[in-house]
A and B are shown apart, each in its own frame.
Chain A
Amino acid sequence: GNSVTQMEGPVTLSEEAFLTINCTYTATGYPSLFWYVQYPGEGLQLLLKATKADDKGSNKGFEATYRKETTSFHLEKGSVQVSDSAVYFCALNAGGTSYGKLTFGQGTILTVHP
């Protein structure tokens, strides 16, 4: 079946540090890949997405590249801020008849200190 594996957290960084959160996936076919962020007490917000191999999604300084050869979609940001503290989820939609179904990783808690 389809699955998503994220690096285990929590991740604690100082402000302006470089961020990488690893994400690898297992899926048949050509899935679409997503990163979502969840702030305390809120739902999920779409951070970025990529729908085919070598696509790069980017938003608010965050980037991730769809690497089919390594089945990865690692999230990066060059300089994190305290306001980036949240839980980050990697997810995929397998396409085909996987209507509306996102398969999520377990989430990575990010804490950024001033």
Chain B
Amino acid sequence: KAGVTQTPRYLIKTRGQQVTLSCSPISGHRSVSWYQQTPGQGLQFLFEYFSETQRNKGNFPGRFSGRQFSNSRSEMNVSTLELGDSALYLCASSFHRDSYGYTFGSGTRLTVV
């Protein structure tokens, strides 16, 4: 059974650019969540999608957005990149009930220069 796949693994962008990250969940998982991990702030929740609908959102500016497709694959977009957006972005998928636990991908390491 394939795990959660995130692409690309590494990305270097210039301040002011925009970036799109991709996440393919485990087959059958319909919930996809995104997290930002930094040394200073730790792991912070960005948003969650289920059946193409955003059900929950963390405290991030509107520059951070996402979407989910009918096959449950999800993308995350960050516009007008800032140096502080440099982080490991993790995607997690779950069966429909949160208490089942979440399976994480290996993440996309974004560096903004």
Contact = CB atoms under 8 A, between A and B. Distances in A.
Interface of A: 32, 34, 36, 41-46, 49, 51, 89, 91, 93, 95, 97-107
Contacts of A105: 42
Contacts of A44: 90, 92, 104
A104 B42 contact: yes
Interface of B: 4, 6, 31-33, 35, 42-43, 45, 47-50, 55-56, 58, 90, 92, 94, 98-99, 101-107
Contacts of A103: 45
Contacts of B102: 34, 46, 100, 102
A51 B45 contact: no
Q: Is the interface of B mostly helix, strand, loop or mixed?
A: strand
Contacts of A45: 104
Contacts, number: 74
B104 A99 contact: no
Contact of B103 (A46, A89, A97): A46
Nearest to B96: A99
A66 B32 CA distance: 26
Nearest to A50: B99
Nearest to B58: A101
Give the top 8 A-B pairs by smallest Cβ distance, nearest first. Answer: A100-B48, A100-B33, A43-B104, A99-B55, A104-B43, A44-B104, A32-B99, A99-B56
A34 B48 CA distance: 18
A55 to B, nearest CB: 11
A43 B89 CA distance: 9
A34 B33 CA distance: 16
Contacts of B32: 100
